[in-house]
Amino acid sequence: MSVPASPAADALLADIGGTNARFALARQDSRTPLLTESVREFAVTQFPSLADAARHYLDTTGAKPRTGVFAVAGRVDGDEARITNHPWVISAARTRDALGLESVELVNDFAAQAMGASLLQPEDVVALGAAGWDGHDYSDRTFAVIGAGTGLGVGGLLRRDGRYYPLQTEGGHVSFAPNTPEEIEILQHLSGEFGRVSNERLVSGMGLVNLHRALSAIAGEDPGPLKPADITARAREGDPRSLRTIDIFCAVFGAAAGDLVLTLGAWDGVFLTGGLVPKLLSAIAHSGFRQRFEHKGRFSAVMARIPTLAVIHPQPGLLGAAALAQHTRP
């Protein structure tokens, strides 16, 4: 289906991961810039480069944007970005020239995730716990953003003088701090495997595998090779160890989210993003996530009033790219 080209639809958006490339268009002058009907998704293995995938999208839709904002799952170093789990090496200048665009901006995918929170509406999130959220207002605000997926992304979103600013960090790599005797045992096991243990070693797709393997080792058993999907599937079937794995995942996720709020002073709330959040939403909601989020000693009463908001918007990365496109318009 062709997306009608329009002078207002002047930004090409991309959210590029190791498996899929998602494209869309944006109206830079609109309060709702992302054109949801324009979203398309392709396997990255279908194309030799980002420029080829983007050209296919533009040829398919007939769109003629002026600028591009591309969120990539990898480190952005000046003009260049490398996808962590795919061999694409992306140059902003070469991609711009190949597509005939006036400009191309490369951003880390988590900067887009954080910026996307600025466009979220109450219906795009599910509040976990008693503290709710009525949407954005025009006051200065500080939010935390933490995303569990392939890894653990951590950042923030500031609103100052009517403008939003995303904060990029590597907070997923802070040291894991156990809170129970069982978590101490898990830390001891993972320390023997990895040396230093970060929160990402537990709160991520591979974190599920690490947790399950640690619990199995503590029980004196070898579960064999597993993937994250194997653990979630076994949990749905009622397997006790897989269920316990997810319980601990959710508890540590809550503790990390609460620590982030304290670190950033994010008293206005925390957005929970990443591919695992919608998939595990019911488990998170019925776990110790919120209890561990609030359990911060002398700050527990304060933490009880802070919203924890699970993002259920289907394209948060593209939404963030659309928000960034608004900030880069002439």
Can you give the three-state secondary structure of 283-295, one letter per residue?
Answer: HHHCCCHHHHHHC
DSSP string, 268-320: T-EEEESTHHHHTHHHHHTSSHHHHHH--GGGHHHHTTS-EEEE--S-HHHHH
- Strands across the sheet containing 11-16: 34-43, 20-26, 11-16, 67-72, 103-108
Chain-centroid distance of CA 231 in Å reads 21
**Residues in the chain, overall count:** 330
Enumerate the known binding-site residues. Answer: 14-19
Enumerate the known binding-site residues for ATP. Answer: 14-19
The answer to whether residues 250 and 287 touch, using CB atoms and an 8 Å cutoff, is yes
